[in-house]
Amino acid sequence: MTTNRSYHITTFGCQMNKADSERMAGILENMGFVWSDDPHQANVILYNTCTIRDNAEQKVYSYLGRQAKRKHEQPDLTLIVAGCVAQQEGEALLRRVPELDLVMGPQHANRLQDLLESVFAGNQIVATEEVHIFEDITQPRRDSKITAWVNVIYGCNERCTYCVVPNVRGVEQSRTPEAIRAEIESLGKQGYKEITLLGQNIDAYGRDLPGSTPEGRHKHTLTDLLYYIHDVPGIERIRFATSHPRYFTERLIKACAELPKICEHFHIPFQSGDNQILKEMARGYNQEKYRRIIETIREYMPDASISADAIVGFPGETEEQFVNTLKLTEDIGFDMLNTAAYSPRPNTPAALWDNQLSEEVKSDRLQRLNHLVAIKASERSQRYFGRIEEVLVEDQNPKDPTQVMGRTRGNRLTFFTGDINSLKGQLVKVKITDVRAFSLTGVSCQ
Ligand code: SAH
Ligand code: SF4
Ligand code: F3S
């Protein structure tokens, strides 16, 4: 056991990983470890990893190489790899980096204390078996005091042919509505103003929980959950991500329109605008259905912000099929779109197909799509000009300490002049005076 008990966590990847890191940090603090900003001062180093694309995975290895060297000079260093690369590679990771003490998949995040105690007793551990995720009894150490992630469903039962997530995050496991509400109530009491409910496929929430309604639908859908948690005192804003077009219902849209705390921002990845490609991706919807969802959202909430993810250069994608993605992007007018070139992933069907595209074609398409995304986002930002928007102040502007920053309900990052000490956590009416593709500037109306 070490005397200097300090830790550092480096987090890669999505919001799920960020939330897991906050819970693991909570466990470490509960064990008496203190956070060290500098990883070189810490003697427990944890990498919470992502493997969604090859470049994400490679990044992890380059970090690990450096820390492994350090371990030879500092034998009391504890090196942990958690998250999705850990799950994907398991034992193989130990062979590649024998200096590692603990390799643990995402489902084991809440078990960090037990695992570490065993490491301190002299073991080298790989924890990647499928487990039921137990409710965490420790408080997460959250990065923000204003906004918080709340997991509602872990894992994913979809089998999109390009995606590693079901392999590394396991099957869907919903938390009970009671546990979710209890966490949100505690956040409200601690002064948090905004929560984001998290799931890889959040619309699947509740389908693994027992119980159905007299009409035969699941009793615990995401829509029911929103009604159930909506009135938690102190919480002013509710968001959720990520939505899957296959399951996005009108009932959910109505609930979002009806419940005032739910922000008018929806993140609904479409992946491709071409029906044949969508079929090969096994997404379970076509582009017409996607368009209908967005139309329905805009009928109920005309100002709603829409963001999404898209992949270019999926195996076999023709120029014409790619143009269909451009068309959908043009027609919908996304407020934000995360784009990526297709990356073949281990143990996914599409990686084995023999119609892979060249890197040149993929990067050319990525550039063309990104160009359009920036144009459309600028157009979408125009609507804010001169308007009064509600901004939840989260922080100082790191580039200009006379300004604070926060987000609008539509999730646009917004800057305005003000003192962070008096404004942090406040909902401020801001008149928008300057618009850019992905951010806004304004003046406080107070
Ligand atoms: N559960 C979400 C997204 C999870 S992964 C959904 O169903 O949409 C986040 C994003 O990474 C995906 O939306 C997709 O656009 C991208 N992605 C996933 N696998 C990929 C791959 N093999 N290559 C490139 N991008 C990928
Ligand atoms: Fe991956 Fe598809 Fe699941 Fe999203 S829904 S995490 S893209 S398998
Ligand atoms: Fe990456 Fe795992 Fe999230 S692969 S995107 S960190 S679920």
Cα-to-centroid distance, 331 and ligand 3 (Å):
29
Q: Ligand 2: does its nearest atom lie under 6 Å from the Cβ of 151?
A: no
- In tens, the pLDDT along 278-332 reads 999 999 999 999 999 999 999 999 999 999 999 999 999 999 999 999 999 999 9
Q: What is the structure's pLDDT at 211?
A: 80
Which residue has the least CA distance to atom 3 on ligand 3?
A: 14
**pLDDT score of 88 more than 50:** yes
Average pLDDT over residues 163-190: 96
Mean pLDDT, rounded, of the chain = 95
Does domain 6-127 fall under CATH 3.40.50.12160? My reply is: yes
Q: Which ligand is nearest to the CA of 345?
A: 1
Q: Which ligand is nearest to the CA of 344?
A: 1
**pLDDT score of 9 more than 50:** yes
**pLDDT score of 374 more than 70:** yes
Determine if the pTM surpasses 0.85. yes
Cα-to-centroid distance, 165 and ligand 3 (Å):
6
Cα-to-centroid distance, 135 and ligand 3 (Å):
21
Q: Which ligand is nearest to the CA of 200?
A: 1
**pLDDT score of 137 more than 80:** no
Question: Does this chain's domain 147-381 share its CATH topology with 385-444?
Answer: no
Q: Hey, where are the domains in the chain?
A: 6-127, 147-381, 385-444
Position in ligand 1 atom list of the atom nearest CA 348: 22
Q: What is the structure's pLDDT at 108?
A: 96
Cα-to-centroid distance, 269 and ligand 2 (Å):
10
Q: Ligand 3: does its nearest atom lie under 6 Å from the Cβ of 14?
A: yes
Question: What CATH number should be reported for the domain whose range is 147-381?
Answer: 3.80.30.20
Which residue has the least CA distance to atom 11 on ligand 1?
A: 52
Which residue has the least CA distance to atom 7 on ligand 3?
A: 165
- The three state secondary structure string of the chain is CCCCCEEEEEECCCHHHHHHHHHHHHHHHHCCCEECCCCCCCCEEEEEECCCCHHHHHHHHHHHHHHHHHHHHCCCCEEEEEHHHHHHHCHHHHHHCCCCCEEECHHHHHHHHHHHHHHHCCCCEEECCCCCCCCCCCCCCCCCCCEEEEECEECCCCCCCCCCHHHHHCCCEECCHHHHHHHHHHHHHCCCCEEEEECCCHHHCCCCCCCECCCCCECCCHHHHHHHHCCCCCCCEEEEECCCCCCCCHHHHHHHHHCCCECCEEECCCECCCHHHHHHHCCCCCHHHHHHHHHHHHHHCCCCEEEEEEEECCCCCCHHHHHHHHHHHHHHCCCEEEEEECCCCCCCHHHHCCCCCCHHHHHHHHHHHHHHHHHHHHHHHHCCCCCEEEEEEEEEECCEEEEEEEECCCCCEEEEECCHHHHCCCEEEEEEEEECCCEEEEEECC
Q: What is the structure's pLDDT at 1?
A: 44
Q: Which ligand is nearest to the CA of 350?
A: 1
Does domain 385-444 fall under CATH 2.40.50.140? My reply is: yes
